[in-house]
Copies of this chain bind each other. A is one copy, B any other.
Amino acid sequence: MTPTHFQYDLLAQCGRARAGVLHTPHGDIPTPVFAPVGTAATVKGVPPRDLQELGATLVLSNTYHLYLRPGDELVARMGGLHRFMGWDGPLLTDSGGFQVFSLPDLRTVDADGVTFRSHLDGSTHRFTPEKVISIEENLGADIIMVLDECAPPAQREYNEQAVRRTHAWAARCQQAQTRSDQALFGIVQGGVFPDLREQSARFLIDLDFPGYAIGGLAVGETKAQMHSVLELLDPILPENKPRYLMGVGTAEDFFEAVACGVDIFDCVLPTRLARHGAALTHAGRINLRNLALAEDTGPLEDGCACYACTHFTRGYIRHLMVAKEIVGLYLASIHNLHFLLDTMRQIRASIFAGTFEQLKANRLPTLMRTA
């Protein structure tokens, strides 16, 4: 189905890096874009008005979690996910496949779908391609994903089988779709194997999806292996469709993957790190419980424009973290989201300016450090 109100415009390139805009029924998404993750219909610790203030333009939520709680049918009766969670910008839902395949003891997979147990109460459930589309249509996100099978990246036979299933399921998802206001993305699988990846991309391109996700990465393979897959896929995937690297990641990854033509990213990292007491900065990660910060009157990061950095000191935020105060998690989450969203905005600006490679060369060396 060709979705209405959905189109990707490629506006500029710098090397292979792409800057564009993705039009959706709930607004335009400047790309490349980082999507904060709202697992259970909420970005942990961060209310929607803060996401808006941070300049988030796309939020991801998890089909698996919402299906189990509060239930996709309930969300539909409450007016859909946008209205339910109070976010009227663009939304993306994954297929639930990643969560199901992350629970190896709790699921059995066959050609028709996957049976799994709820991590909440142990009850048994089944996802088929048709069921997943039905759930995602109940949720009503602007961008939705096909059901795919995620295999461990280096197991050849498993990946051959997973690619076959993923392809069959992708076609069934496409057939099952009834809403024309959602863009259904295919998901390229194939682990670290170039021939499988190419085969997967070409199969899905033949099905003519409005966008392509790259799955099965950032799941244990090396960075070099990830980059090889991205470099391989870049010239194969159609230029006029958005490319989404699922579950990635860090600012370092943004630079590496944008350099291979990726447009969309998502990751729980900024809010998860914040809850674990870490702040992201251009000079590496900071442990916010560090005694050395106790009387530090500087902001989390010099020059940062976020609410946390413009109003509070490292010393105060350290106090909140040590005292296990919720506002500490909130301020660190705000800062970490700002850091990634702002890094992506700088990347996009550098693509228009033709300076992406310089920005990448300047920024990459310090990002990996832990301060």
Residue positions of A touching B, CB distance < 8 A: 40-49, 69-70, 74, 77-79, 84-86, 294-295, 297, 307, 311-313, 315-316, 319-320, 322-323, 325-331
Contact = CB atoms under 8 A, between A and B. Distances in A.
A315 B78 contact: yes
When all copies of this chain in the complex are counted, the total is 2
Given A42-B325, A327-B42, A330-B47, A319 B86 contact: no
20 contacts: A40-B319, A40-B320, A41-B319, A42-B323, A42-B328, A43-B327, A44-B327, A45-B330, A46-B327, A47-B327, A48-B311, A69-B319, A70-B322, A74-B294, A77-B295, A78-B315, A78-B316, A84-B316, A86-B316, A326-B329
A72 to B, nearest CB: 12
A45 B315 contact: no
A198 to B, nearest CB: 41
Contact of A69 (B49, B86, B297, B323): B323
B70 A319 contact: yes
Given A295-B78, A311-B86, A44 B325 contact: yes
Contact of A40 (B40, B44, B77, B325): B325
B86 A49 contact: no
B79 A297 contact: yes
